[in-house]
């Protein structure tokens, strides 16, 4: 076996009603004042947030809440950190989609640093994070980015000269992840589809990654099987199916663990520069590109003769069987099934094209020049990356 490293993971509470574990967890850790980062309009419009705050008060915990809208930008993180200076909470709790969890993760870390979060972003700033942070609890309300299991927070400044970069440190992995599928039932179908396809992309890219290990492989297989058995159910048939929501929540959590330890591929190599230049939700970028990117990778792997290439192709075939729930009988047939299944999801779930967000051919050229294949199994040129995106313009 080759050597590998596996980062720490959060303590995981998964299951319907597990939101109720939060006050107990905080009380055990003697937290009396917390910062609650939310973003979900559905959470705020329902009485769930009010009930949670009441429940917290019942445990002697005062919650101050702040709403994050959209993907976190430096101004939001810096402003919130500034407001907290001098009277820090005992813990930060984020309830929402991946962006909200990233916002909470960044705030929990940046209250321990001086200066702007921009100074600490990879490839943007020149300072190195110390890794100190407040205790941080992540409660995802969508099954997507897997941010509840990762060590980075993505911070964006969209538009010309914009960026989408990570604040990253081993110690930024959330201390606790609470995945309560009841929080996800009000997630709208289009968000469920895009975020679910993000999780599936992460599992798939981590599975075929050149940095995969036997441990990430085992987790990716479990995640792909779970997503295959629940994604269509929650995205198309019945979003109120709590059991299927739990299965997708589990798959998304694993996608975070897998990506943190095995890396990602070309879809995510495109997603960062794309998200920096155009205001497209991350899940939509991944969802709209995953079928075509997988088709192109497989086309190249079919002619590759190295051991690594054969292994990646066999893993794609296995992913086809796991996601579809049955073995098509041959490696070739399982690969075809994988591409067909992904393409059908993109089509039937009406995942938007890039052009719907004002992306032009020139824009694609700029994105292609700044993209890479990360840990993907196939080296692709900027022209080949451009062609993948052009199919979904
Ligand atoms: Fe992603």
Ligand 1 centroid from CA 375, angstroms = 14
Q: Give me ligand 1 centre to Cα 282, in Å.
A: 6
Q: How far is the CA of 158 from the centre of ligand 1 (A)?
A: 17
CA of 268 to the centre of ligand 1 (A): 6
Q: Any bridge partners for residue 14, and if so which?
A: 179
Q: Which residues contact 301 (CB under 8 A, 6 or more apart)?
A: 309, 312, 313, 316, 377, 378
Q: Which long-range contacts (CB under 8 A, 24 or more apart) does 237-241 make?
A: 239/185, 239/187, 239/189, 239/192, 240/185
Q: Are strands 163-168 and 152-157 parallel, antiparallel or unpaired?
A: antiparallel
151-160, 198-207, 368-377: which range is least confident on average?
Answer: 151-160
- Specify which residues 163 forms β-bridges with: 157
Query: Nearest Cα to 323, choosing from 347, 339, 309?
Result: 339
CA of 200 to the centre of ligand 1 (A): 9
- Chain segment 323-363, per-residue pLDDT in tens: 999 999 999 999 999 999 999 999 999 999 999 999 999 99
pLDDT at residue 262 in the model = 97
**Residue 357, both tokens:** 């967000």
| CA 208 – ligand 1 centroid, Å | 15
**pLDDT tens per residue across span 223-277:** 999 999 999 999 999 999 999 999 999 999 999 999 999 999 999 999 999 988 9
Dist. CA 135 → ligand 1 center (Å): 24
Tell me the whole-structure pTM to 2 decimals: 0.96
Token representation of residue 149: 């299991």
What's the CATH code, domain 189-390? 1.20.1090.10
Q: In angstroms, what is the span from residue 287 Cα to ligand 1's centroid?
A: 9
Q: Are strands 176-179 and 62-67 parallel, antiparallel or unpaired?
A: unpaired
Residue 211 CA, chain-centre distance (Å), reads 19
Can you give the C-alpha Rg of the chain in angstroms?
A: 20
Q: Which of 215, 213, 225, 384 lies closest to 311 in space, CA to CA?
A: 213
The CA 202 to ligand 1 mean position distance, Å, reads 6
Q: Enumerate the domain spans of the chain.
A: 11-183, 189-390
Closest CA to 133 of 168, 165, 164, 161: 168
Residue 377: how many other CB atoms lie within 10 Å: 25
Rounded to 10°, the helix 74-84/98-110 angle is 50
**pLDDT, mean of residues 302-326:** 96
**Phi, psi for residue 351 in degrees, rounded to 5:** -65, 125
SS (H, E, C) 177-208: EEECHHHCCCCCHHHHHHHHHHHHHHHHHHHC
CA dist 195 and 255 (Å) reads 12
**Residue 33 has which token pair?**
């004042």
* pLDDT at 390 exceeding the cut of 70: yes
pLDDT at residue 40 tops 70: no
CATH class of 11-183: alpha beta
Write the pLDDT tens digit of every residue in 165-198: 999 999 999 999 999 999 999 999 999 999 999 9
Distance 258 CA to ligand 1 centre (A): 11
Expressed in angstroms and rounded, the spacing between residue 204 Cα and the centre of ligand 1 is: 11
């Amino acid at each position: 076996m080759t050597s590998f490293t596996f980062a720490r993971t959060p303590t995981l509470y998964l299951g319907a009603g597990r939101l109720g574990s939060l006050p107990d967890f905080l009380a055990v850790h003697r937290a009396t004042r917390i910062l609650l980062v939310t973003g979900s309009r559905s959470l705020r419009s329902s009485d769930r947030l009010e009930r949670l705050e009441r429940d917290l008060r019942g445990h002697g915990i005062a919650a101050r809440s702040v709403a994050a809208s959209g993907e976190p930008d430096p101004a939001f993180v810096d402003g919130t950190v500034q407001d907290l200076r001098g009277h820090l909470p005992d813990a930060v709790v984020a309830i929402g989609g991946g962006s909200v969890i990233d916002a909470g993760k960044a705030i929990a870390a940046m209250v321990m640093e001086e200066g702007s979060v921009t100074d600490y972003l990879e490839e943007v700033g020149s300072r190195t994070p110390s890794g100190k942070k407040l205790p941080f609890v992540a409660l995802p309300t969508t099954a997507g980015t897997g941010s509840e299991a990762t060590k980075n927070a993505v911070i964006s400044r969209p538009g010309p000269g914009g960026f989408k970069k990570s604040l990253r440190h081993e110690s930024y992995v959330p201390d606790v992840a609470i995945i309560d599928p009841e929080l996800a039932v009000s997630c709208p179908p289009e968000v469920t589809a895009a975020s679910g396809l993000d999780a599936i992309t992460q599992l798939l890219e981590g599975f075929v990654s050149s940095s995969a290990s036997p441990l990430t492989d085992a987790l990716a297989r479990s995640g792909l099987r779970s997503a295959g058995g629940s994604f269509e159910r929650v995205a198309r048939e019945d979003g109120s199916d709590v059991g299927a929501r739990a299965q997708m929540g589990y798959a998304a959590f694993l996608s975070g663990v897998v990506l943190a330890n095995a890396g990602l591929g070309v879809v995510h190599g495109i997603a960062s520069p794309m998200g920096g230049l155009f205001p497209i939700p991350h899940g939509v970028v991944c969802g709209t590109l995953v079928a075509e990117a997988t088709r192109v990778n497989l086309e190249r792997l079919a002619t590759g003769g190295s051991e690594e290439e054969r292994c990646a192709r066999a893993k794609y075939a296995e992913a086809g069987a796991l996601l579809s729930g049955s073995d098509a009988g041959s490696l070739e047939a399982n690969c075809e099934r994988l591409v067909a299944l992904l393409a059908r999801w993109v089509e039937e779930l009406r995942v938007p094209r890039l052009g719907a967000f004002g992306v032009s051919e020139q824009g694609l050229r700029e994105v292609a020049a700044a993209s890479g294949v990360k840990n993907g199994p196939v080296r692709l040129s900027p022209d080949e990356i451009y062609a993948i995106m052009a199919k979904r313009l």
